[in-house]
């Protein structure tokens, strides 16, 4: 299991409360699946509670609010130990007053790291794939600062402001190096050469953790365009990759193709005080409601959340069960993986292997 920093909970607790934010599209199908797996994985002695929370574009269309204050407050004030987020729809055109609730939630809860493991239980392309992409979660172009100006000739020019700060770069680099140190037998960290971000990552490597990072972790640099090229040519070369927000998003979505589909890639939005598990895939409106959405990414995200909360043994059992399902019968998998299975069938298979 991915070694995330545990900061606010312990496996010795006799109760656990998790917020569920299905949001849009297939989120309403895969988050309930993840809930059932959590229920099956935890000991019966644990008092397990779930709190339903709202967010999403569909909610915005109904109420004019994409992220209710109650959802934020429940996460901030200790109403839940951690949360699961499903998926959010992104309108193809500007909608006045709307902005992504998951981006806002990351900022409000200071979930500065989006940790995305990309691995395959079997050799893909004849090579072992086992990497973790650590994506800065609060800055870059995702600060959503844009404007359009009219030119003297009547044409228009659009501008977007990109923000990279030393503070955000330092803490995301520190998390990436900590993860790299804990991954037994692995030692390759990539940082995108992007001015201040690169400078801070190098400084953390040389001087962070009292110089221990440099002793135990090898760091390589890669430009983002050649990184994507090498990712498909030599996926086995990469271990822990740290990148600014936009680059991390592109790299991790591309890496998902190496292990089957976005439907199997999990992530965790991690801060110093809170964690939200979130599948990497989108709301998939084309298949929403058809019962064929792949629940594996959400189930794996639930495993990451449990690990962060201190339930590492249970998280490992979930990961092992998912791996067995992926390997045993390709026909039972969902259509994105070439099978004919349903969300329900895959969920039941994971629970059976638990």
Average pLDDT for 142-156: 94
Q: What is the DSSP string of 34-49?
A: HHHHHHHHS-TTSEEE
Lowest average pLDDT, out of 6-15, 82-91, 170-179, 218-227, goes to 6-15
Say what percent of the chain tops pLDDT 70. 93
Q: pLDDT category, 122, cuts 50, 70, 90?
A: low
pTM of the model: 0.89
How many CA within 13 A on the CB side of residue 309?
27
Question: Which architecture characterizes domain 1-117+260-354 according to CATH?
Answer: 3-Layer(aba) Sandwich (3.40)
What is the C-alpha separation between 162 and 136, in angstroms, rounded?
13
Q: Is the pLDDT of residue 125 over 70?
A: no
pLDDT for 6 equals: 46
Average pLDDT for 116-144: 82
Q: What are phi and psi of 9, to 5 degrees?
A: -150, 170
What is the C-alpha separation between 153 and 307, in angstroms, rounded?
58
What is the C-alpha separation between 169 and 134, in angstroms, rounded?
11
pLDDT for 8 equals: 45
Query: Starting at the edge strand that comes first in sequence, how are the strands of the sheet with 188-192 ordered?
Result: 47-52, 15-23, 82-87, 275-277, 268-270, 113-119, 130-136, 240-243, 188-192, 218-222
215-249: pLDDT as tens digits? 999 999 888 889 999 988 888 889 999 999 999 99
Q: Where in the chain is the domain with CATH 3.40.718.10?
A: 1-117+260-354, 121-258
pLDDT for 186 equals: 60
Q: Which residue has the tokens 């953390």?
A: 204
pLDDT for 188 equals: 73
Question: Which architecture characterizes domain 121-258 according to CATH?
Answer: 3-Layer(aba) Sandwich (3.40)
Q: Is the pLDDT of residue 12 over 50?
A: no
pLDDT for 124 equals: 44
Tokens standing for residue 34: 């993840």
43-65: pLDDT as tens digits? 999 999 999 999 999 999 999 99
């Amino acid at each position: 299991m991915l070694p995330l920093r545990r900061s606010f909970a312990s496996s010795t607790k006799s109760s656990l409360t998790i917020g569920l934010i299905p949001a849009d599209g297939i989120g309403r199908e895969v988050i309930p699946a993840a809930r059932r797996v959590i229920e099956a994985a935890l000991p019966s002695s644990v008092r397990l509670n779930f709190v339903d929370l709202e967010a999403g574009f569909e909610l915005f269309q109904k109420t004019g609010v994409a992220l209710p204050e109650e959802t934020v407050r429940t996460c901030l004030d200790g109403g839940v130990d951690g949360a699961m987020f499903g998926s959010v729809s992104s309108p193809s055109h500007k909608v006045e007053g709307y902005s992504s609730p998951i981006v806002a939630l990351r900022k409000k809860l200071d979930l500065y790291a989006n940790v995305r493991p990309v691995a395959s239980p079997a050799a893909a392309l004849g090579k072992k794939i086992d990497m973790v992409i650590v994506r800065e979660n609060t800055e870059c172009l995702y600060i959503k600062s844009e404007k359009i100006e009219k030119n003297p000739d009547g044409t228009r020019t659009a501008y977007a402001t990109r923000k990279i700060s030393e503070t955000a770069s330092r803490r995301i680099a520190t998390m990436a190096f900590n993860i790299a140190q804990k991954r037994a037998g692995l030692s390759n960290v990539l940082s995108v050469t992007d001015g201040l971000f690169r400078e801070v990552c190098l400084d953390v490597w040389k001087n962070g953790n009292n110089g221990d990072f440099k002793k135990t972790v090898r760091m390589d640099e890669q430009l983002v365009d050649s990184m994507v090229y090498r990712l498909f040519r030599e996926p086995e070369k990469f271990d822990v990759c740290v990148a600014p927000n936009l680059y991390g998003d592109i790299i991790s979505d591309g890496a998902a193709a190496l292990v089957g589909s976005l439907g199997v890639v999990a992530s965790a939005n991690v801060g110093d005080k809170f964690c939200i598990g979130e599948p990497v895939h989108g709301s998939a409106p084309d298949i929403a409601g058809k019962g064929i959405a792949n629940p594996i990414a959400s189930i794996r995200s639930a495993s990451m959340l449990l690990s962060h909360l201190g339930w590492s043994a249970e998280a490992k059992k979930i990961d092992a069960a998912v791996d067995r399902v992926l390997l045993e019968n390709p026909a039972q998998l969902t259509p994105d993986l070439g099978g004919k299975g349903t969300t329900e069938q895959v969920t039941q298979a994971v629970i059976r292997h638990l």
